[in-house]
Amino acid sequence: MVAGIFARRLSKEGFHYSEANLFRKLRLIDLEMHGRKFLYNRDVWWETLLKQLGLSKLKGPWIHKTTLRYWKIYAGASPLFSDTMSTIHRLKMAEFRLGMVSDSDGTPGMKMKRIRQQPFLKFLEIIVVAGEDTPNVKPSRGPFTLVAKRLDLQPRNCVYIGDNPNTDIEGAIGCGMMMILVKRRGPKGGHPDHLARSLSDAAKLLMQN
């Protein structure tokens, strides 16, 4: 989607790049920002692309408009995992208290706006948007420590379930939580306390500990 927007915009300015070429460049930027820099502000991603193309002079308000359009489309095309709601209901029935730690999208308020559209919102007591509610995003310990504090719990009495070994393991374990990693497609590695095949599998592990 963004590659197409850029291809059309650059073409109007007299610079012709194929959508496929721009997509490959954006994919590499995605991997760098998620994998090493933990920088999620899409405005910066698009500006990085322009810089790589030697076209930084084309920066302008259209960059942020592209970000807003990106998140609108992304939200509509990102359904919950099939076992999300059943797992949440199961945990609530077992009287677990539920909170959430999620990284900022880089556009202030955007992550909370997307979370408010989700059916699980009413089951969460606390939501911490790392990078907005705290100075740093995950894997900093700060967001994990804050969610425990707002739940009035000690971190050692909390279990964090996540699916990104790059961001979810270090901070959770570092502040004293048990960490269950759900194996998904994407980054591998890390040393969680437990591995799960799915959210429902993570719930089974949680109830055993």
pLDDT digits (tens, 9 = 90+) for 58-111: 999 999 999 999 998 888 878 899 999 999 999 999 999 999 999 999 999 999
The pLDDT assigned to 141 comes to 98
Fold type of domain 84-208 = Rossmann fold (3.40.50)
Where are the domains positioned within the chain? 2-76, 84-208
Select from 119, 101, 97 the least CA-distant residue to 111: 101
> Is 163's pLDDT higher than 80?
yes
Query: How much is the pLDDT for 189?
Result: 79
pLDDT of residue 167 exceeding 70: yes
Contact indicator for 100, 160 with CB cutoff of 8 Å: no
pTM of the model: 0.86
- Convert the pLDDT of each residue in 29-72 to its tens digit: 998 988 766 889 999 999 999 999 999 999 999 999 999 999 98
Q: State the pLDDT at residue 187.
A: 72
Residue 150: burial class (beta carbons within 10 Å; 0-12, 13-18, 19+): middle
Average pLDDT score over the chain: 94
pLDDT for 78 equals: 82
State yes or no: pLDDT of 188 exceeds 80.
Answer: no
As a whole number, mean pLDDT of residues 118-139 equals 97
pLDDT computed for residue 37 by the predictor = 67
pLDDT at position 77:
78
Please compute the mean of the pLDDT values over residues 130-155 and round it to a whole number.
97
**Closest C-alpha to 71, from 106, 31, 23, 25:** 106
Q: What is the pLDDT of residue 184?
A: 86
Tokens of 120: 């699980």
Respond yes or no on whether the N-terminal peptide bond of residue 139 is cis (omega within 30° of 0). yes
Q: Which residue has the higher pLDDT, 7 or 36?
A: 7
Confidence (pLDDT) at 192: 97
